[in-house]
Amino acid sequence: MQISLTFKNVDSSEYLKSHTQEKFGKLDRMLDNPADAHIVLSAEKLNNIAEINLNCGKIKIHAKEESEKNMYSAIDVLSDKVRLQIKKHTEKLKRHLSRDKFSIKTDFTDFISSNNLVEESIDG
């Protein structure tokens, strides 16, 4: 995952960078395609704000989290939000792709057993 960080009204520190890389690097395993994430960390009055734009193939996620505690808690909650959105999208995709795709053999045997029909082989 390609992660770019932008700091607004916040001093950039190696701890914030490594914490962000650690949290969002884990999300890369959940994605099928390479992803680009643009993360903005900002401070306004008493609020610490973390915002992300994530693009990965057909998945486009935008999320924002505010925290009064500190920037680390905003990053943690934001990563959890994005993880849930990715999980929701992949589950939806799996349900969509697997719908109405049953084995012909299974459907045929179910049809025969439900209608009390007998299978006979025809030898020519």
pLDDT of residue 115 exceeding 80: no
* pLDDT band at residue 12 under the 50/70/90 scheme: confident
Q: Are 17 and 5 in contact (CB under 8 A)?
A: yes
Please give the average per-residue pLDDT across 40-63, as a whole number. Answer: 90
Please give the average per-residue pLDDT across 97-118, as a whole number. Answer: 59
Domains and CATH numbers, the chain: 2-114 (3.30.160.100)
* pLDDT band at residue 34 under the 50/70/90 scheme: confident
DSSP state of 46: T
Q: Are 63 and 75 in contact (CB under 8 A)?
A: no
- Round the average pLDDT of the chain to a whole number and report it: 82
